[in-house]
Amino acid sequence: MQSKSVYKIPNGKLIKIFLDYDSKNKLINNICITGDFFAYPEESIDLMEKKLKNTLLTKKDLLEKINSVIKKYKIEFIGLNAEGLVEGILRCIK
Partner 1 sequence: MKEQWRLLKTEDNSAFTNMAIDKAVMVSCSRGKVPPTVRFYTWKPPAISIGYFQSLNEEVNLDACKSLGVEFVRRITGGGAVFHDKELTYSIIIPESNLKVPKNILESYRRICGAVIKGLKYLWIESKYAPINDIIVNNKKISGSAQTRKSKTVLQHGTVLLDVDVDKMFKLLKVPNEKIKDKLIADVKQRVTSIKHISDNNVTFNETSDAMKIGFEEEFDIELVNGILTKEEISLTNKFERECFSTTEWNYKK
Question: Count of CB atoms within 10 A of residue 32's CB?
Answer: 13
Q: What is the C-alpha separation between 48 and 46, in angstroms, rounded?
A: 5
Minimum Å gap between C-beta 14 and partner 1 is 8
49 or 61: CB nearest partner 1? 49
Minimum Å gap between C-beta 86 and partner 1 is 17
46 or 58: CB nearest partner 1? 46
Asked whether the beta carbons of 33 and 45 are under 8 A apart, the reply is: yes
Stretch binding partner 1 (CB under 8 A), from 27-35, 53-61, 62-70, 82-90:
27-35
Q: CB under 8 Å to 52, separation ≥6 — which residues?
A: 28, 31, 62, 65, 66, 89
What does the DSSP 8-state code read for residue 56? B
Q: Kindly tell me which residue out of 40, 58, 68, 93 binds partner 1, with binding defined by CB under 8 A.
A: 40
* Interface positions with partner 1 (CB under 8 A): 6, 13-14, 16, 18, 32-42, 45, 76, 78-79
